[in-house]
Amino acid sequence: MHPIVKLVAQRLALGALLLLAASALIFGLTEALPGDAAQAILGQAATAESLANLREEMGLNRPALTRYFEWLGGILTGDMGVALTNKLDIATSVASRMANTLFLAFWAALISVPLAILLGLIAVRYQNRWPDKMISGVTLASISLPEFMIAYILIFFFAVKLFWAPSFANISSSMSLLEQLHAIALPVAVLVLVVLAHMMRMTRAAILNVMQSAYIETAELKGLTGFQVIARHAFPNAIAPIVNVVMINMAYLVVGVVVVEVVFAYPGMGQYLVDAVVKRDVPVVLACGVIFAAVYILLNIFADVVSILTNPRLRHPK
């Protein structure tokens, strides 16, 4: 078997095991949550008999291990169950919510990834000069601020003072693309500011590390300009670490948007998860947790595969 195929197969197998472990951990944590789902649904005035009937209806009176394997089997076949609070099919609700989250993440990634790479290249080209210091200072400031603070600052200036964008990012299928983009302008800006700094600084560090190589000096002796050396020779050889940090931040755009979606009341997976936790809707919490874990693991596997493919020693084994 070719070394690349073997390594990719190993990463996929490891990802499957990690997802299985994550599902068991998520199920165990939901079981350890304080309170009672039946009590949360029926309220404090519910009788003991009605609570017992509801627990039996939801299967809460069966052993946890049995319920875990039944739930895992349903997940593997695409059956996520029914929400306890509204009796709606979870897979249908997740499909629309996930589409909204991916829509938000797509536009944030479309802006942040090219901008981060461009700013990283500029910072390397003008290392230790004012463009580098200004870019590093702004990105450090954005890293230092939590997401909700950035969100409220943008809401205050662009929604309350200037009326340029709405403070609530509510979208629907009846809206045109321009209307949807206008609605998500502020949450996209928050996500861009959050992930841009990490990707830019990693791009800068990776390229600076490559710039110490001997072939970079050779390229400079050939008469290439500084930006040509960086773009043609340094950047292609720094792709592996850059892809890793980009994929981690892409995972954040899908998995870590809970705070941003709650602040802007955005109808995505993060808001859906928070509502389910508040109502103690365990099947919804389990479904959201597994989906988030799967997205994070798959993106990290993709980053590993790209790192393998960009390694010449693996592409051309002796």
pLDDT at 4 over 70: yes
In tens, the pLDDT along 229-254 reads: 777 777 777 777 788 888 888 888 88
Average pLDDT value for residue range 44-58: 75
Q: Which residues contact 232 (CB under 8 A, 6 or more apart)?
A: 219, 224
Spatial separation of the C-alpha atoms in residues 170 and 189, rounded to whole Å: 16
**Of the given ranges (56-60, 123-127, 261-265, 302-306), which has the lowest mean pLDDT?**
56-60
Mean pLDDT (the chain) is 83
Residue 181 binned pLDDT confidence (cut-offs 50, 70, 90): very high
Residue 315 binned pLDDT confidence (cut-offs 50, 70, 90): low
pLDDT for the residue numbered 187: 93
SS (H, E, C) 57-86: HHCCCCCHHHHHHHHHHHHHCCCCCECCCC
Domain boundaries along the sequence of the chain: 90-282
pLDDT at 15 over 90: no
Reference 155, options 139, 168, 144; nearest CA is 168
Reference 175, options 288, 272, 267, 274; nearest CA is 267
pLDDT for the residue numbered 318: 55
CA distances from 133 to 26, 79, 100, 125, 129 (A): 43, 52, 37, 12, 6
Residue 257 binned pLDDT confidence (cut-offs 50, 70, 90): confident
For the chain, what is the radius of gyration of the CA atoms?
A: 24
In tens, the pLDDT along 123-148 reads: 888 888 888 889 888 888 887 888 88
If one counts every other C-beta atom within 10 angstroms of the C-beta of residue 169, the result is: 24
pLDDT at 263 over 70: yes
pLDDT for the residue numbered 188: 93
Spatial separation of the C-alpha atoms in residues 98 and 165, rounded to whole Å: 23
Q: H helices within the chain, ranges in order?
A: 3-31, 37-42, 48-58, 64-76, 90-125, 130-144, 147-154, 177-183, 185-210, 214-221, 226-229, 239-255, 258-263, 269-279, 282-309, 312-315
Q: What CATH number has the domain spanning 90-282?
A: 1.10.3720.10
CA-based max dimension of the chain: 85
Residue 86, φ and ψ in degrees, nearest 5: -120, 0
pLDDT at 7 over 80: no
SS3 310: coil
